[in-house]
Amino acid sequence: MVPKFIPLGSPDLQPQDVEAAVEVMRSGMLVQGEQVKAFEDTIAAYLGVKQAICASNGTATLHMALVALGIGPGDEVIIPALSYIATANVVELVGATPIFVDVDPDTFNIKAHDIEGAINSRTKAIMPVHEFGLAAEISLIREISRKYGLFLIEDAACALGAKEGSHFVGSFGHFGSFSLHPRKTISSGEGGILTTNDDDLAETIRILRNHGIVYKDGKMSFVAAGFNYRLTDFQAALVNSQFLRFDEILKKKQQLAEIYYQEIKDALIKLPNIPAGKNHTWQSFHVVLDDSIDRDVFITKMKERGIGTNYGAQCIPYQEYYKKKYQLNCSLVFPNALRAFQQGLALPIYEKLTEDDVARIAHNVNELTNELC
Ligand SMILES: *Cc1c(COP(=O)(O)O)cnc(C)c1O
């Protein structure tokens, strides 16, 4: 018997999640309403922040954050060289300049010390990413942002539930941004959340999200050139329902990760490293293959074995648009990001997988490594 194909990702929608969304659809409430409000309140309470604002996706949230902070042409925003491309695209979209900083090869996160070296008089903001679901050195990064008077926007798209010490990511910066895409831990299809402890910034975001509208004495005023970046209520119903078991989902992912740690034995595969004082929320279980192994062949052969894998994140300055525009020598300036992009591999890790599935994946990784090196 051919074993079933294991995809790289698969959202875990339970019947009650779908039912919750359908119920909202039946009510005829197809735009933003009570479900969105309820989810915002739930997330704000969970993360211990004053405000959470939902939006149509985790790129819209970053885009609005930059607009709300007045970041634009002439400004520089420091971001990691390794991330999902959206982290850089939003900086370009507001006309500012992304300044790439290489990542730590052990955590795939940007380091506070390297950020400090990239600051100059044009720097306006730092936008660290909590890559693959692990918190960056966010307390240290916050200290630096304060020392130089910079805005701090956490791209926590992958990292809902990740902590440094006793504090959740998304609670450190002027803004924290989360994604609800199906490749993240809970999903509304498309969706995003922006968090902040600043009520004025939150108000600005709510206005930007909804065409720049402010209601005064029951009358509409259009006070800003806003977006339509709203989330719908049936999408929010999906995540309201999933969030009821959020801690269980994280626990399950942790159990699966432990099986990978036990079963993947090969010295040619570098497993994720978790610094003390942090949890990992396992958006990806991201390993790095030895240079003797052709990563793309590895992905193809894993597929033949019925297992979906892929690279984990882009070395952004190495992608066509950024390569042409900035002409940075990635192997020289961002060796860690480039290597993580070229030799990195995300393995399946999600609630639906069984411990046997993960043992099977690990077994195939071990076999293939020996075959290909
Ligand atoms: C997923 C992701 C985004 C974009 O989120 P979307 O909801 O897909 O727009 C941004 N940054 C990082 C680091 C991501 O992983």
Q: 3-state secondary structure string, the chain? A: CCCCCECCCCCCCCHHHHHHHHHHHHHCCCCCCHHHHHHHHHHHHHHCCCEEEEECCCCHHHHHHHHHCCCCCCCEEEEECEECCHHHHHHHHCCCEEEEECECCCCCCECHHHHHHCCCCCEEEECCECHHHECCCHHHHHHHHHHCCCEEEEECCCCCCCEECCEECCCCCCEEEEECCCCCCCCCCCCEEEEECCHHHHHHHHHHHECCEEEECCEEEECCCCCECCCCHHHHHHHHHHHCCHHHHHHHHHHHHHHHHHHCCCCCEECCCCCCCECECCCCEEEEECCCCCHHHHHHHHHHCCECCECCCEEHHHCHHHHHHHCCCHHHHCHHHHHHHHHEEEECCCCCCCHHHHHHHHHHHHHHHHHHC
State the distance from the centre of ligand 1 to the C-alpha of 57, rounded, in angstroms.
8
What atom of ligand 1 comes closest to residue 190's alpha carbon?
A: 7
**Closest atom of ligand 1 relative to the 283 alpha carbon:** 15
pLDDT of 161 reads 98
Q: Which atom of ligand 1 is nearest to the CA of 83?
A: 13
pLDDT attached to residue 356:
96
pLDDT of residue 2: 65
Q: How far is the CA of 356 from the centre of ligand 1 (A)?
A: 30
Q: Which of 154, 179, 183 to mutate to test the pocket of ligand 1 (most atoms within 8 A of CB)?
A: 179
Q: Which atom of ligand 1 is found nearest the CA of 191?
A: 7
Best of 181, 183, 283 to mutate for ligand 1, by most ligand atoms within 8 A of CB? 181
User: Of the residues 8, 59, 77, which should be mutated to test ligand 1's pocket, given the most ligand atoms within 8 Å of the CB?
Assistant: 59
Q: How far is the CA of 26 from the centre of ligand 1 (A)?
A: 30
pLDDT at 12: 86
Taking the chain (373 residues) in runs of 10, the rounded mean pLDDT of each run is 87 95 96 97 98 98 98 98 98 98 98 98 98 98 98 98 98 98 96 98 98 94 97 98 97 98 93 96 97 97 97 97 98 98 98 96 96 89
CA of 321 from ligand 1 middle (Å) equals 18
* Shortest-distance atom of ligand 1 to CA 131: 13
Residue 373: per-residue pLDDT? 84
pLDDT at residue 266, rounded to an integer = 81
Question: Ligand 1: distance of its center to the CA of 191 in Å?
Answer: 10
State which ligand 1 atom lies nearest to the alpha carbon of 192: 7
CA of residue 86 to ligand 1 center, whole Å: 6
What pLDDT score does 1 carry? 60
* pTM > 0.85: yes or no: yes
Ligand 1 site: residues with CB under 6 angstroms?
57-59, 83-84, 86-87, 129, 155, 157-158, 179, 181, 192
